[in-house]
Amino acid sequence: MGGVVLRGVSGMIQDFWIRLADLEDIPKLTTLISESARALQSDYYSSEQIEGALGIVFGVDSQLIQDKTYFVAENNRQIVGCGGWSKRKTLYGGDSGKNNQEDSLLNPDTDSAKIRAFFVHPAWARRGIGSQIMQASELAAERAKFKDAEIIATLAGEPLYTKFGYQVIERFEISLQNSQFLPVVRMFKSFARNL
Protein backbone atom coordinates (compact mmCIF):
# COMPACT_ATOMS: atom_id res chain seq x y z
CA MET A 1 0.00 0.00 0.00
CA GLY A 2 1.12 3.56 -0.64
CA GLY A 3 1.72 5.66 2.44
CA VAL A 4 -0.69 8.28 3.68
CA VAL A 5 -0.05 11.55 1.88
CA LEU A 6 -2.48 13.82 3.70
CA ARG A 7 -5.65 13.63 5.72
CA GLY A 8 -8.82 15.50 4.84
CA VAL A 9 -12.11 16.05 6.54
CA SER A 10 -15.16 15.17 4.53
CA GLY A 11 -17.90 17.51 5.63
CA MET A 12 -17.88 17.46 9.40
CA ILE A 13 -18.79 13.82 9.89
CA GLN A 14 -16.35 11.43 8.19
CA ASP A 15 -12.67 11.48 7.42
CA PHE A 16 -10.92 10.38 4.25
CA TRP A 17 -7.27 9.76 3.55
CA ILE A 18 -5.31 10.59 0.43
CA ARG A 19 -2.65 8.03 -0.50
CA LEU A 20 -0.80 6.87 -3.58
CA ALA A 21 -2.69 4.28 -5.62
CA ASP A 22 -1.39 0.71 -5.95
CA LEU A 23 -1.82 -1.64 -8.90
CA GLU A 24 -4.04 -3.76 -6.64
CA ASP A 25 -6.50 -0.82 -6.58
CA ILE A 26 -7.26 -1.10 -10.31
CA PRO A 27 -10.46 -3.22 -10.01
CA LYS A 28 -11.89 -0.82 -7.41
CA LEU A 29 -10.82 2.19 -9.46
CA THR A 30 -12.50 0.79 -12.57
CA THR A 31 -15.77 0.42 -10.66
CA LEU A 32 -15.45 3.86 -9.07
CA ILE A 33 -14.77 5.55 -12.42
CA SER A 34 -17.83 3.93 -14.02
CA GLU A 35 -20.10 4.87 -11.10
CA SER A 36 -18.74 8.40 -10.97
CA ALA A 37 -19.01 9.03 -14.71
CA ARG A 38 -22.53 7.65 -14.99
CA ALA A 39 -23.84 9.70 -12.07
CA LEU A 40 -21.82 12.91 -11.98
CA GLN A 41 -21.35 13.47 -15.72
CA SER A 42 -25.02 12.90 -16.59
CA ASP A 43 -25.95 16.60 -16.34
CA TYR A 44 -23.36 17.37 -19.03
CA TYR A 45 -23.28 14.34 -21.33
CA SER A 46 -25.79 11.89 -22.76
CA SER A 47 -25.73 8.26 -21.63
CA GLU A 48 -24.39 7.36 -25.10
CA GLN A 49 -21.48 9.78 -24.69
CA ILE A 50 -20.70 8.47 -21.21
CA GLU A 51 -20.84 4.82 -22.25
CA GLY A 52 -18.66 5.56 -25.29
CA ALA A 53 -16.10 7.31 -23.09
CA LEU A 54 -15.89 4.61 -20.39
CA GLY A 55 -12.62 2.72 -20.59
CA ILE A 56 -11.33 4.80 -23.48
CA VAL A 57 -11.44 8.34 -22.05
CA PHE A 58 -12.80 7.63 -18.56
CA GLY A 59 -10.58 4.79 -17.39
CA VAL A 60 -7.61 3.70 -15.31
CA ASP A 61 -4.19 4.55 -16.73
CA SER A 62 -1.91 2.06 -14.96
CA GLN A 63 1.17 4.06 -16.01
CA LEU A 64 0.12 6.80 -13.57
CA ILE A 65 0.04 4.22 -10.77
CA GLN A 66 3.43 2.79 -11.79
CA ASP A 67 4.88 6.31 -11.89
CA LYS A 68 3.51 6.96 -8.38
CA THR A 69 1.61 10.04 -9.54
CA TYR A 70 -1.96 8.80 -8.97
CA PHE A 71 -3.81 9.27 -5.70
CA VAL A 72 -6.86 7.70 -4.11
CA ALA A 73 -9.10 9.04 -1.36
CA GLU A 74 -10.06 6.30 1.03
CA ASN A 75 -12.63 5.97 3.81
CA ASN A 76 -12.74 2.75 5.86
CA ARG A 77 -10.77 0.94 3.12
CA GLN A 78 -13.29 2.05 0.47
CA ILE A 79 -11.90 4.13 -2.40
CA VAL A 80 -14.15 7.20 -2.67
CA GLY A 81 -12.12 9.32 -5.09
CA CYS A 82 -9.09 9.31 -7.37
CA GLY A 83 -6.99 11.62 -9.50
CA GLY A 84 -3.44 12.64 -10.11
CA TRP A 85 -0.85 14.14 -12.37
CA SER A 86 1.54 12.88 -15.00
CA LYS A 87 5.09 13.50 -16.08
CA ARG A 88 4.27 11.86 -19.44
CA LYS A 89 2.84 13.16 -22.71
CA THR A 90 -0.56 11.44 -22.54
CA LEU A 91 -3.28 13.97 -21.68
CA TYR A 92 -6.24 11.68 -21.02
CA GLY A 93 -7.56 8.15 -21.31
CA GLY A 94 -7.39 4.75 -19.73
CA ASP A 95 -5.20 1.81 -20.68
CA SER A 96 -7.70 0.60 -23.29
CA GLY A 97 -7.71 3.97 -25.07
CA LYS A 98 -4.00 4.48 -25.58
CA ASN A 99 -3.64 2.78 -28.97
CA ASN A 100 0.18 2.73 -28.85
CA GLN A 101 0.39 6.51 -28.60
CA GLU A 102 3.67 7.98 -27.45
CA ASP A 103 3.85 8.26 -23.67
CA SER A 104 7.41 9.46 -23.20
CA LEU A 105 8.55 11.50 -20.23
CA LEU A 106 8.08 15.26 -20.23
CA ASN A 107 10.85 17.79 -19.63
CA PRO A 108 9.88 19.97 -16.62
CA ASP A 109 11.90 22.87 -18.08
CA THR A 110 9.86 23.02 -21.29
CA ASP A 111 6.69 20.93 -20.83
CA SER A 112 3.60 21.21 -18.66
CA ALA A 113 2.69 18.54 -16.13
CA LYS A 114 -0.61 16.85 -16.95
CA ILE A 115 -3.46 16.76 -14.42
CA ARG A 116 -5.25 13.47 -14.98
CA ALA A 117 -8.31 11.33 -14.34
CA PHE A 118 -10.23 12.85 -11.42
CA PHE A 119 -13.29 10.89 -10.28
CA VAL A 120 -15.29 10.92 -7.05
CA HIS A 121 -17.87 8.40 -5.86
CA PRO A 122 -21.34 9.99 -6.24
CA ALA A 123 -22.09 9.56 -2.51
CA TRP A 124 -18.92 11.52 -1.71
CA ALA A 125 -19.33 14.37 -4.22
CA ARG A 126 -18.93 17.97 -3.07
CA ARG A 127 -17.02 17.06 0.09
CA GLY A 128 -13.59 18.38 -0.86
CA ILE A 129 -12.09 15.14 -2.16
CA GLY A 130 -11.31 16.53 -5.62
CA SER A 131 -9.82 19.66 -4.08
CA GLN A 132 -7.52 17.72 -1.77
CA ILE A 133 -6.38 15.40 -4.56
CA MET A 134 -5.74 18.50 -6.71
CA GLN A 135 -3.62 20.04 -3.94
CA ALA A 136 -1.60 16.83 -3.59
CA SER A 137 -1.18 16.58 -7.39
CA GLU A 138 -0.06 20.17 -7.87
CA LEU A 139 2.36 19.96 -4.95
CA ALA A 140 3.90 16.76 -6.32
CA ALA A 141 4.21 18.27 -9.82
CA GLU A 142 5.89 21.37 -8.41
CA ARG A 143 8.28 19.22 -6.39
CA ALA A 144 9.16 17.46 -9.65
CA LYS A 145 10.19 20.93 -10.95
CA PHE A 146 7.25 21.52 -13.30
CA LYS A 147 6.42 25.21 -13.72
CA ASP A 148 2.88 24.74 -15.00
CA ALA A 149 0.18 22.19 -15.71
CA GLU A 150 -2.52 21.47 -18.24
CA ILE A 151 -5.60 19.33 -18.21
CA ILE A 152 -8.23 18.05 -20.60
CA ALA A 153 -11.28 18.67 -18.41
CA THR A 154 -14.76 17.28 -18.70
CA LEU A 155 -17.55 19.83 -18.61
CA ALA A 156 -18.41 18.57 -15.11
CA GLY A 157 -14.82 19.05 -13.93
CA GLU A 158 -14.31 22.52 -15.40
CA PRO A 159 -15.64 24.39 -12.30
CA LEU A 160 -13.18 22.62 -9.97
CA TYR A 161 -10.21 23.40 -12.18
CA THR A 162 -11.36 27.01 -12.64
CA LYS A 163 -11.48 27.31 -8.83
CA PHE A 164 -7.83 26.24 -8.77
CA GLY A 165 -6.83 28.94 -11.26
CA TYR A 166 -6.83 26.96 -14.51
CA GLN A 167 -7.70 29.01 -17.60
CA VAL A 168 -9.56 27.75 -20.66
CA ILE A 169 -7.25 27.39 -23.66
CA GLU A 170 -9.63 25.68 -26.08
CA ARG A 171 -12.82 23.67 -26.31
CA PHE A 172 -12.96 20.64 -28.58
CA GLU A 173 -14.56 17.21 -28.95
CA ILE A 174 -13.03 13.76 -28.58
CA SER A 175 -14.29 11.23 -31.13
CA LEU A 176 -15.55 8.06 -29.42
CA GLN A 177 -15.69 4.54 -30.84
CA ASN A 178 -19.51 4.49 -30.72
CA SER A 179 -19.72 7.42 -33.18
CA GLN A 180 -20.40 9.90 -30.38
CA PHE A 181 -18.35 13.00 -29.57
CA LEU A 182 -17.34 14.12 -26.08
CA PRO A 183 -16.99 17.90 -25.57
CA VAL A 184 -13.99 18.70 -23.35
CA VAL A 185 -11.92 21.72 -22.33
CA ARG A 186 -8.14 22.15 -22.47
CA MET A 187 -7.08 24.23 -19.46
CA PHE A 188 -3.73 25.61 -18.29
CA LYS A 189 -2.21 26.97 -15.09
CA SER A 190 1.18 28.47 -14.33
CA PHE A 191 2.38 27.65 -10.82
CA ALA A 192 3.10 30.76 -8.75
CA ARG A 193 6.14 29.22 -7.15
CA ASN A 194 8.42 26.26 -7.67
CA LEU A 195 9.68 24.25 -4.72
How confident is the model at residue 118, as a pLDDT? 98
pLDDT at 12: 38
Superfamily name and number for 17-93+107-190: Gcn5-related N-acetyltransferase (GNAT) (3.40.630.30)
Q: What is the pLDDT along the chain (195 residues), one digit of tens a residue?
A: 444 445 443 333 448 999 999 999 999 999 999 999 999 999 999 999 999 999 889 999 999 999 999 999 999 999 999 999 999 999 898 887 665 566 799 999 999 999 999 999 999 999 999 999 999 999 999 999 999 999 999 999 999 999 999 999 999 999 999 999 999 999 999 997 644
Q: What is the pTM of this model?
A: 0.89
Residue 9's pLDDT is 37
User: Mind giving me the DSSP string for the chain?
Assistant: -PPEEEEEEETTTEEEEEEE--GGGHHHHHHHHHHHHHHHSTTTS-HHHHHHHBTTTBS--HHHHHTT-EEEEEETTEEEEEEEEESBS--S--GGG-TT---PBP-TTTS-EEEEEEEE-GGGTTSSHHHHHHHHHHHHHHHTT--EEEEEEETTTHHHHHHTT-EEEEEEEEEPTTS-EEEEEEEEEE-S---
Tell me what pLDDT residue 97 has. 65
pLDDT of residue 11: 39
